[in-house]
Amino acid sequence: MTSQQRVVVIGGGLAGLRLAQRLAPAVVTVLGEEDHAPYNRVLLAEVLAGRYAPEVAALPAAGPGLRRGVRAVRIDRAERRVHGDDGSVEPYDTLVLATGSNPVLPPLRGLFEPEGRDLPDGVHPFRTMDDCLALGEAVRPGLRVVVIGGGLLGVSAARALAARGAQVVLTQQGERLMERQLDTEASALLHAHLTALGVEIHTECRVRGLSTQPSAGRRRVTGAELADGYRLDADLVVLACGVRPRTGLAQAAGLAVRRGVLVDDELRTSDPHIHAIGDCAEHAGQVYGLAGPALEQAEVLATLLTDRAREPASPDGAAAGGGVTANAPRTYTGTRALTRLTLPTGIDLAAFGQTTPGPGDDVIRLADATRRTYRKVVVRGDRLVGGVLLGELSAVGTLARTWEGDEPLHATHQLIHLLTDDGGS
């Protein structure tokens, strides 16, 4: 990057900061809405469980361009300026949206009053460091906590709260836990592991409302009401119903938006001076909402911006520019995402690709009830297309590299070798 090109990033999370770091030594202005030092959201469950202090989740120093506690409120595309809620105005040559996502607040009866947007006391979303710290302050051993949502976010919150000694009830509208990532067998094992931690699990269970009572001039939650009329008593309720791309700023600026902000293979929006990366971006119909794709998009965009701004090569053939690796890709073609979760009892799980086989696919399963391990891979022709591992992840690195590289499998024994940690013996 050259010092003359003004790059502004809206969003001080993982994607925005990685981009700024990769564009160094150029100074990139990063507008971060939260007052906290930037942190890794992946570690929030560990902070909630008490395994890590909040500072452990901190991301590497963002440099002098980070402005914390500033929320972008308007993009003036004609003048190429970003307006902040503190009255500041940031001009840009290139603008990058890394606005992330918001927690989904389900349409529950009693969640909000008719004319208000304040959650009842005791009701906590689980998305930001503020959410994590507030929930950590509220939870006590023996308190009854209802977690709404049985996906990755809900499972992470439930096991963290159980580790804090709470009586946790996990409700899931779908048939099984983490149904987007896990097959039936792996989900059943996860169900058993959480139950062993003391988590009470209700699947195929829809929460339709919250019951509250007045407390010190406010409302305080007392329970969750299920669609079948059953009521779950609750001291705390955690909303872990997924996330939604944060696109309001882009929509107000007139950019093309569907589920996320639409981007092409160069991560450009419908305005060529504006890019989008991370949870807010939609590429080829896909919104990822995971750390891996966000980081990959940041790497690709850093390479593209550096190439465009790079000065002519020096006489010895070396190109001027920033800290982008020489072999980084110049276009983004999508990410093969891997999901991982660690439970406090040492039970790990990983899932990648297509875990449900299609017609003609081959499936190999290895299960050990004594060791409480389960491994399954799905093979299509000579390609590995997906897999689930639970309880022991020594093989996940090799499997994931084979899958990500779309490498051909030359023989069944090669797959067995990949799937086991003992060479298939």
Per-position DSSP letters for 340-351, written without gaps between them: EEE-TTS-EEEE
**Three-class DSSP category at 214:** strand
Which pLDDT score, from 0 to 100, does residue 424 have?
A: 38
In this prediction the pTM is 0.86
- Evaluate whether 7-102+244-309 and 347-419 have a shared fold: no
Quick: pLDDT tens for 304-315.
Answer: 999 876 644 444
AA identity, residue 77? R
The answer to whether 259 and 287 have CB atoms below 8 angstroms apart is yes
What string of DSSP letters covers 294-313?
HHHHHHHHHHHHHHHHPPPP
Q: Answer positive or negative: Cα dihedral of 351, 357, 363, 369.
A: positive
Placement of tokens 């592991």 in the chain? 193
Using DSSP's 3-state secondary structure scheme, residue 70 falls into coil
Residue 317 pLDDT = 38
**Which pLDDT value is given to residue 314?**
41
Residue 302: per-residue pLDDT:
96
Looking at residue 421, its pLDDT comes to 55
* Domain ranges across the chain: 7-102+244-309, 123-241, 347-419
The matching CATH number, chosen from 3.20.20.60, 3.50.50.60, 3.40.50.40, 3.40.50.1820, for 7-102+244-309 is 3.50.50.60
The CA dihedral of 281, 287, 292, 295, to the nearest 10 degrees, is -10
Residue 43 token pair:
């570690």
**pLDDT (0 to 100) of residue 181:** 84
Residue 261: what pLDDT?
A: 98
Q: H or E segment at 145?
A: strand 144-148
**Class at the top of the CATH hierarchy for domain 347-419:** alpha beta
CATH of domain 123-241: 3.50.50.60
Specify the pLDDT at position 310. 65
DSSP annotation of 393? -
78-79-83 Cα angle (round to 5): 110
pLDDT at site 319: 38
Give whole-number Cα distances, 352 to 118, 330, 340, 376, in Å. 38, 25, 9, 11
Phi, psi (degrees; rounded to nearest 5) at 392: -160, 115
Task: With a cut of 70, list the residues of the chain below it in pLDDT.
Answer: 1-3, 309-328, 343-347, 411-425
Q: How far apart are CA 397 and CA 414, in angstroms?
A: 15
* Chain-centroid distance, C-alpha 93: 29
Peptide bond into 272 cis (omega under 30): no
User: pLDDT tens digits, residue range 358-409?
Assistant: 999 999 888 887 777 888 999 999 889 989 988 878 778 888 888 888 888 8
